[in-house]
A and B are shown apart, each in its own frame.
Chain A
Amino acid sequence: MAKSPAPPAVPLSNRERPADPKPFEATKEQLLDFYRHMLLIRRFEEKAGQLYGLGFIGGFCHLYIGQEAVAVGLQSALDGDKDSVITGYRDHGHMLAYGIDPKVIMAELTGRAAGISRGKGGSMHMFSTEHKFYGGHGIVGAQVSLGTGLAFGHKYSNDGGVCLAYFGDGAANQGQVYESFNMAELWKLPIIFVIENNQYAMGTSVNRASAEDQLYRRGESFRIPGIQVDGMDVLACRGAAEEALAWVRAGKGPVILEMKTYRYRGHSMSDPAKYRSREEVQGVRDKSDPIEHVKKLLEAEGVTEADLKTIEQDIRKTVNEAADFAESTPEPEETELYTDVLVESY
């Protein structure tokens, strides 16, 4: 599945389409950077899972383990000053890929005043307007319409920005996604719709939920071209992002990227793990792990075991510091209950 090369998009007409993306040709430095970010996400999420088990994190907590190449590959191609990003509730990875301080993310997970949403949002509701990261939305599919609105804003303000709107294979069946597709193409909005197809909407596999399970084709009736991408290969992800950005920045309207990926952990922390076999998960880990893939590339570039170890140690330190901070920093003042309901006073 995930490792198989992306089949070429089958043109339904002679309309212009983006070219088939090429794998990104990364320098050693770029590869190291991808590796660091992906590993940070992996270790951060493992730690979050651990803290959840210890009762430091409550409510819902959706981990990104297995999908790291998608956020890192795509977001590394963006222009941080102009472009915007929006996603659903599985949002920790996208924030870390953007270089947002792991401490304020972890402190949000533990519901502390120092959290990025001052402890009022939690795992699913994190934002950084400074980084043009617009959430963190808990209603499946809502971020697709909201992202289309961000793209509308880019076009309205003529600021040259593109919106990257992530959603899952589950959200891909929501009606508002298609309402948004229609408007986005009609108005040629600068948006990349990224379907993170991790194969399961909670416990329902794509095949059990989607009449057209080749999700990159879901835009065809709106004339939105789609590209299927190996979401376990960070270079393929980055290459697809380059192609998609070129298309969108040229004013040709939206594009869909279907990222074939896999989540190792359950949908959320309370997942019965009854809908797929342990062998299936282990198979992907063994054969297609996105971090192991980059590790091999780095080794081929002459990066030594010792260098990789140093990186690993650095990241463990960062994550442990974030966890310590998140456990020890205080909860919000009780008066915070009543702030931020409205901006103005009336």
Chain B
Amino acid sequence: MAIEIKMPALSPTMEEGTLAKWLVKEGDTVKSGDIMAEIETDKATMEFEAVDEGTIGKIVVAEGTDNVKVGAVIATLLEDGESADAATSAGAGTKDDSPKADAKADEKKPADKVEDSAHPSQEKVETGARQLFEAAKNDGVQDPAIPEGTEMVKTTVREALRDAMAEEMRKDGRVFVMGEEVAQYQGAYKVTQSLLEEFGDRRVIDTPITEYGFAGVGTGAAMGGLKPIIEFMTFNFAMQAIDHIINSAAKTNYMSGGQMRCPIVFRGPNGAASRVGAQHSQNYGPWYASVPGLIVIAPYDAADAKGLLKAAIRSEDPVVFLENELMYGRSFDVPKLDDYVLPIGKARIMREGSHVTLVSYSIGVGLALEAAETLAGEGIEAEVIDLRTLRPLDKQTVLKSLAKTNRLVVVEEGWPTCSIASEITAIVMEEGFDDLDAPVLRVTNEDVPLPYAANLEKKALIDAKKIVATVKKII
């Protein structure tokens, strides 16, 4: 029986992609390891290799087709002795090779799929990260500062970050980007895409894999008067460099009595990604937010990513800018303005409500908004606050909201111990005690290293259901 070759996923969050090019044609024989096609997504291009031996029967999806769903049959492979006719009949299910049929095939829920044990089909595993990712569709209210009638442009977080860097690099010759794979590779997560082309290799600099070293080089360059943007492939790797971030960058202005500045941005993805295990899944927000001398920003949507990164690059202070891999591909409205810069240190009310305040930041905001939606269906109006900046923390917005709702829950995609949630709780005890009608509760990840197994990972991470359940404990 002919083997169905299916559209592969290049990452756990990929839903569709472009079949850029076929490198084989019908009738070609292939063996395991031969490259059959090139698949593209917005962040990567990958060569797709044959796993089985045989002859290409039918190419179902033509090259150059966009939006091919993951798992859709793109070709059939004939095993020894099979004829092309057999292939046609084998491919009968997808015989009408229109994109419509592919889409339909993919609409089947993973649970409905009948597994062919020999050739299991692609399946989207229910993971915790997927929930985080899905919730990120939630869009909040826009910042009030945008003038009436401003055109809004759907932009991914990834593009917004890139645009922020490009705009600031055009404005200020001292700004440069340095990190692993930021130039020729276009960024491990494609955040620096096309910067090399525009600014050249003097200002977009690939480094060796040497986090401690290049964090120090960037910090030294900032001390010498430049404005570096140091990209960490992920903040997990920045632990090798944390000495320079804290001891060199954060403290020097103070230790020098205000003489030596260090205007540098350390940026990169932070927090849990998807199924990458404990060493690649950690939220460093609370770590950096505990350090005087640093600015710590963790945006949620694309407009904030752009407006706050621009502000970070302009700041005379060292900034840790925490992005989220799962958010990179999400699109949000970004105001089309020549110079969209947001204030550092100001939280944002994403949704107004009167019964309970949900405080969150980064990817947790999406879940808080989703939970608020569910709660609204049950008559509970939750006010959702996105902190946006973790240091300095906008206490006033939190306390003002608490004064209105008298109940507060902190939602944080991170560990509970010594967390931003702990900090908010302490602030509320010290400065908002009289406004409390119920104890402050926290919804955080479980207090364990993040496991790999999909079911365990899902259990370890926060989700909207946990938020709803927690809110109900105090209402």
Contacts and interface: CB of A to CB of B under 8 A. Distances in A.
Interface of A: 84, 86, 115-121, 125-129, 134-139, 142, 144-154, 156-157, 175-176, 179-180, 182-183, 186, 339-344, 346
Contacts of A128: 259
A251 to B, nearest CB: 15
B343 to A, nearest CB: 7
B226 A157 contact: yes
B344 to A, nearest CB: 5
- Name the residue in B223, B224, B261, B316 with the highest tally of chain A Cβ atoms < 10 Å from its Cβ: B224
A186 to B, nearest CB: 7
B295 interface: yes
A50 to B, nearest CB: 25
A129 B221 CA distance: 13
Given A125-B256, A129-B256, A156-B202, 7 more contacts: A86-B220, A116-B259, A146-B220, A182-B210, A183-B213, A342-B317, A343-B258
B248 interface: yes
Interface string B198-241: 00001000011010111111111111111000000000000000
A149 B222 contact: yes
Given A142-B247, A149-B224, A156-B202, A342 B253 contact: yes
Given A84-B224, A142-B248, A183 B392 contact: no
Interface string B293-335: 1010000000000000000000111000000000000000000
B248 A176 contact: no
Contacts of B293: 341-342
23 contacts: A86-B220, A117-B255, A117-B256, A125-B252, A127-B256, A127-B259, A127-B260, A135-B260, A136-B255, A137-B248, A142-B243, A145-B213, A145-B215, A145-B216, A145-B220, A148-B220, A149-B217, A149-B222, A149-B223, A179-B214, A180-B217, A341-B293, A342-B253
A129 B220 contact: no
Closest 7 CB pairs of A and B: A149-B220, A145-B216, A179-B213, A118-B257, A153-B224, A146-B220, A346-B345
A101 to B, nearest CB: 14
- Name the residue in B218, B220, B222, B247 with the highest tally of chain A Cβ atoms < 10 Å from its Cβ: B220
Nearest to B346: A346
Size band of the B side of the interface?
Answer: 35 or more
B288 interface: no
Contacts of A340: 253-254, 256-258
Contacts of B257: 115-121, 340
B292 interface: yes
Contacts of A126: 256
B275 interface: no
B217 to A, nearest CB: 4
A138 to B, nearest CB: 7
A179 B257 CA distance: 30
B244 interface: yes
A90 to B, nearest CB: 16
B196 to A, nearest CB: 16
A153 B225 contact: yes
Contacts of A125: 252, 255-256
A73 B237 CA distance: 40
A132 to B, nearest CB: 9
A320 B263 CA distance: 39
B259 to A, nearest CB: 5
A121 B220 contact: no
Nearest to A155: B202
Contacts of B216: 142, 144-146, 148-149, 176, 179-180
Contacts of A343: 253, 258, 261, 263, 315-317
Contacts of B189: none
A156 B316 contact: no
Nearest to B246: A139
Nearest to A145: B216
Contacts of B263: 343
B226 A153 contact: yes
Nearest to A142: B248
B73 to A, nearest CB: 47
A137 B260 CA distance: 12
A157 B256 CA distance: 24
B258 A183 contact: no
B361 interface: no
Contacts of B292: 341
Contacts of A157: 225-226
A144 B219 CA distance: 11
A316 B364 CA distance: 65
Contacts of B247: 138-139, 142
Interface in B359-415: 389, 392
Contacts of A154: 224
A125 B247 CA distance: 11
B266 interface: no
Nearest to A179: B213
A150 B207 contact: no
B277 to A, nearest CB: 25
Contact of B223 (A150, A180, A341, A344): A150
B254 A346 contact: no
Contacts of A138: 247
Nearest to B178: A152
A129 B262 CA distance: 12
A139 B243 contact: yes
A120 B255 contact: yes
B176 interface: yes
Nearest to A174: B212
A129 B219 contact: no
Contacts of B254: 120, 340-341
A176 B212 contact: yes
A182 B217 CA distance: 12
A134 B220 contact: yes
Nearest to A121: B255
A148 B252 contact: no
A152 B217 contact: yes
Nearest to A156: B226
Contacts of B202: 156
